[in-house]
Amino acid sequence: MQLSQAQFDALRDSMDAVPTAASSVIESKRYEWTDDAPAASDYADVPGEPVKTIVSHAAHALTVGADHLAGLRRVLQSPVMTIAPWTLARGNLEACSLLLWLLEDGLTASDRIGRSLSIRIQNLRDQRVWSGEHGTAGEEPQAAARQRTDEVAEQARTMGLEVRRAKNGEVIGFPTGLPGFVELARRAGYAPEYRLFSGAAHGRFWATTQLGFRRSGRNALEQDMTPEAAIYVLTVSLELWLKAAAALSLYQGWDLNEIGTALDPLLDSAGLSSGMRPWRNSAP
């Protein structure tokens, strides 16, 4: 992909501008679904808070992804950082792939609520682990998290969901737990990208030498970010975030063309193809 300097600057700046413009449209909807939306169908099957929690989880994930995109813009301004962009891209990929898993097409209301409850259980499990490792946290946060876990499991049981437990009795999911991020990325179609970004985030030599360094001598490396690498990390990250934003919009029954009207001028200035725009059926 070849871009002029002006197009590259527009692409980099779109990491802030695109989520801001899209969020303006989304927030104008006040996160309310339309009468014929998949969310409305789920709510009709299971009224109350569970479907609202699904939307809350999705909105949170989209916001987390947007924050990582904004960070990408900053670290790719002079002086350019060469490893941080891949770490930020990984964070965006994790958030967006989680959203896409939660809002996957074809799920029943019970299946989707089970996934949402599995996200909550994983959060509570992580909270317990953190408080146990944090020297000043004490027993109280762990006890509160265990109690909340029992409450979520009871909520799932009363809704007719299977509560899966580990051999030690710990709740895993309803009926399956939250997949790991490698699996989430695979389901989203970004497994190779996730492994590459993770390699850089973890400081793996095979990844960092491809992405953030160049040889400056037989036995010397110098930090470097090529234009091709910068374009790649920006376009992959933006493409995935747009897919996630579209998934939330479709679940709520919103017209994607409203987001497209707001975003098309920004993506045009960055020289990005119609293939990256979920509101368009095909590239010209």
Structural domain boundaries of the chain? Answer: 5-104+180-276
Tell me: pLDDT of 181 over 70. yes
For residues 113 and 50, is the Cβ–Cβ distance under 8 A? yes
Element (H, E) at 135: none
CA count, 13 A, side-chain hemisphere, 207? 19
Report for 151-165, 167-181, 237-251, 269-283: range of highest mean pLDDT = 237-251
pLDDT class of 225 with cuts at 50, 70, 90? confident
Contacts of 37 (CB under 8 A, 6+ apart): 251, 252, 253, 254
Q: Does residue 272 or residue 129 have the better pLDDT?
A: 272
Element (H, E) at 2: none
Closest CA to 271 of 238, 247, 243: 238
DSSP lists the bridge partners of residue 221 as 215
pTM of the model: 0.91
Q: What is the DSSP string of 69-94?
A: HHHHHHHTSSSPPSSHHHHHHHHHHH
The C-alpha atoms of residue 247 and residue 161 are separated, in whole angstroms, by 25
Tell me: pLDDT of 246 over 70. yes
- Residue 215 has phi, psi (to 5 degrees) of -75, 130
Report for 140-149, 181-190, 222-231: range of highest mean pLDDT = 181-190
Tell me: pLDDT of 102 over 60. yes
The C-alpha atoms of residue 185 and residue 100 are separated, in whole angstroms, by 9
CB atoms within 10 A of CB 9: 14
Tell me: pLDDT of 135 over 70. no
Q: What is the mean pLDDT of residues 87-100?
A: 98
pLDDT tens digit string along 61-76?
999 999 999 999 999 9
Which pLDDT score, from 0 to 100, does residue 71 have? 97
CA count, 13 A, side-chain hemisphere, 90? 17
pLDDT tens digit string along 113-133?
999 999 999 999 888 888 776
